[in-house]
Amino acid sequence: MRSDKAKKSLEKAPHRSLLKALGLTDEEIARPFVGVVNSANEIIPGHIHLHRIAEAVKTGVRIAGGTPLEFPVIGICDGIAMNHEGMRYSLPSRENIADSIELVVMAHAFDALVFIPNCDKIVPAMLMAALRLNIPAIVVSGGPMLAGTLKGRNVDLISVFEGVGKVKVGAMTEGELAELEGCACPGAGCCAGMFTANSMNCLTEALGMGLPGNGTIPAVFAERIRLAKHAGMKVMELLDKGIRPRDIATQSAFRNAIAADMALGCSTNTVLHVPAVAYEAGIELNLDDFDAMGRRVPHLCHLSPAGPHHIAEDLYRAGGIQAVMKRLTGLGVLDTTVMTVTGRTLAENLKTAGVLDDEVIRPIERAYHKEGGIAILRGTLAPDGAVVKQSGVLPEMMVRTGVARVFDSEEDATKVIMAGGIRKGDVVVIRYEGPKGGPGMREMLTATSAIAGMGLDRDVALITDGRFSGGTRGAAIGHCSPEAADGGAVALVKEGDTISIDIPSRRLDLLVDEKELDLRRAAWTPPDRKLTGVLKRYAGMTLSADKGARYKD
């Protein structure tokens, strides 16, 4: 056992003394040490209940003969961090979390790990750590939040964000908004809908690193507690069999996860996180991998914010991620021979899976859209790529030419949007919000939700070198690379320029003469940002969005 180096032999008597200070018995010290990595805290709704999940995991570990030892990691609630300087810290926290886990695990020689995440950056960070460390591990998330209900209809956090825009145009009163905000988020769990946190929890299951049900069992169900106990027991089986994360998260497994991503209509943030996770396993994924799969896999699930269904109520009831993958076997896009944390192959797991609602998980021939949820655009405005959640774009916005309205920060754009300064046919460009330029690549949910809430999503597009919440819908194109801070074309756009968007053809072009662009490029200078602390280090170390915004080697 790895832990023997910290507890076995005469020379380790001081180490054992410290372990006994924890209250551990000789019998417990002799057993495998299982790290229980818990992101519980009292500021994130998705994490408020994770102590109970951790207790269930530890029960499972003990049942199977291990000694669980819990330690914490930080977390950030993107919803609370949204639309102020706090959002700059969200993406950098991913690297911080992965690094902190590595520090604790290597210092204390754990034999196996159970990861308990539940929100946007925490899930990919824990997967990154699992693949970097490559000791037997399993992920069990805290699960999705139930949708709220208001006057007989389902509502969620995005309903509130869009409600702000409705108030601005007189489509909702402030009193109605207050009633909505009181019931949209009814309790613990990842915010209801196929937003980034739920997207990553679902893809963890599709990747094979979470047990069946990891992505969709509601946070408040007793079944989630039983799943956590089984995760604790299962990690001991993985340890006994010598099955490690890189045995599970192979190139084929990542392609399976991308296929599920396309069928589900996941957040565009998966295009940042999945390649960063794969890199830790020595696997190179790029934007073309997503686009190629998107052309092969249709969009089968129409989930909030783009559609009417929710994770906890609808996708869970319809059979969950296993049912989606069972459906995809008919396309020939999955490698079902891959190993999973069940200790069985994907093919063996899917034998008992089945679709229980053909509207929530549609048959291939009756897909919501013929192509997958995410598309990669390239062109003169984004030669290295940009990302759009095409399953959330209205048909009339799939091909559009518009007039650029240019802003150098999210705050500047939001002020004009909220003041009614954006007109039909405008293309809002928000730049200097990329990984380096932001720094931190902020999400633009306030801006996109205001556009949707004001009824402009049929007529206005938004382009940024920043990114979008999984809760975004509309013609919102992010990750524009190279970013403005690196002198990308998005830095050269001027007010009144014409921009062409053609999502079916995968094009994003700035319709400005090349000679004019050369003149603008020669006159361009990057903004001088006075950075300190974490953001200064992050800006100096991060790669571009098309590389997953991970740290340089």
156-to-164, 189, 201, 347 alpha-carbon distances in Å: 14, 12, 18, 35
Q: 93, 199, 391, 469: which one is catalytic?
A: 469
206-to-83, 120, 211, 213 alpha-carbon distances in Å: 32, 17, 9, 10
Radius of gyration of the chain (CA): 23
CA angle 377/398/475 to nearest 5° reads 75
According to DSSP, residue 73 is labeled -
391-to-22, 117, 191, 199, 459 alpha-carbon distances in Å: 52, 27, 19, 14, 17
Instruction: Give the tokens for residue 69.
Output: 């030892």
Sign (positive or negative) of CA dihedral 487, 491, 494, 496:
positive
Would you call 469 a catalytic residue per the annotation? yes
Task: Give the DSSP H or E segment for 400.
Answer: strand 399-407
User: Any bridge partners for residue 443, and if so which?
Assistant: 467
148-to-155, 188, 281, 284, 400 alpha-carbon distances in Å: 5, 12, 39, 40, 35
C-alpha to C-alpha distance for 184 and 85, rounded to whole angstroms: 25
Cβ neighbours for 438, distance < 8 A, ≥ 6 positions apart? 88, 432, 466
**Would you list the DSSP string of 471-525?**
T--SSEEEEEES-GGGT-GGGG--TT-EEEEETTTTEEEE-S-HHHHHHHHHH--
Q: Token pair 């980034």 is at which residue?
A: 196
According to DSSP, residue 204 is labeled H
Instruction: Give the tokens for residue 226.
Output: 């039983």
C-alpha to C-alpha distance for 229 and 201, rounded to whole angstroms: 18
- How many beta carbons lie within 10 A of that of residue 65, not counting itself? 12
C-alpha to C-alpha distance for 73 and 84, rounded to whole angstroms: 23
Burial class (CB in 10 A: 0-12, 13-18, 19+), 420: exposed
Instruction: Give the tokens for residue 134.
Output: 């490559």
List, by residue number, the catalytic residues.
469
